[in-house]
Structure 1
């Protein structure tokens, strides 16, 4: 459980920082990111809202995407990232792809190697 909290906290904190930087670069007043109580909310105006939250009982990070819907990510030591068991895709990969398409620019969040974040 201690490892889960260290890895998930580092992921959420880094994700928040990267998203804040991204929104600053965009200068879009309709977009905002907020993190409280283990829940990160990314509001993209007409493009919808992402909600990413820690789920300690399951040792997971849950994502609700306005594009791909809900997904539950487990930490996979072999790949050192958060992976969705149904399709094997990483949290970072999915978010970068969706945000790049939505915002019309390359988005690199750099949260793929989780142990490097903590």
Structure 2
């Protein structure tokens, strides 16, 4: 139904990523940084939070790497991260 819930336990909390098709947005609820609404910018090929101009992938990379370790996650290799994953 367009919702991804990731639970990191009592110490780190739960992330919820929710597709909002009518608004062409992705909504994120982060236990670290709070709620945010991301818009897709075709020019950047990325989901961007308009209040700080940072991508969804950048925020997830930073916050989740802090929980599980830098060497475990790589959100920049995902589709629409705004980076060329083939490099």
**Which residue of 1 is the match for residue 3 of structure 2?**
39
1:76 maps to 2:41:
yes
Query: Residue 87 of structure 1: SS of its match in structure 2?
Result: coil
Gap regions ≥5 residues in structure 2 = none
Deviations 1:58-88 (A, max 9, x none): 1100000000000000000111010000000
CA distance in 1, matches of 2:69, 2:47: 25
CA distance in 2, matches of 1:75, 1:51: 18
TM-score by length of 1: 0.62
Gap regions ≥5 residues in structure 1 = 1-36
**Structure 1 segments (4+ residues) deviating >3 Å:** none
TM alignment of 1:35-114, pairs within 5 A:
37-46=1-10, 47-106=12-71, 107-109=73-75, 110-111=77-78, 112-113=81-82
- Answer 1 or 2: which has greater strand percent: 2
Two-structure CA RMSD over aligned residues (Å): 1.7
Q: How many residues are treated as equivalent by the alignment?
A: 79
CA distance in 2, matches of 1:40, 1:49: 10
TM-score by length of 2: 0.83
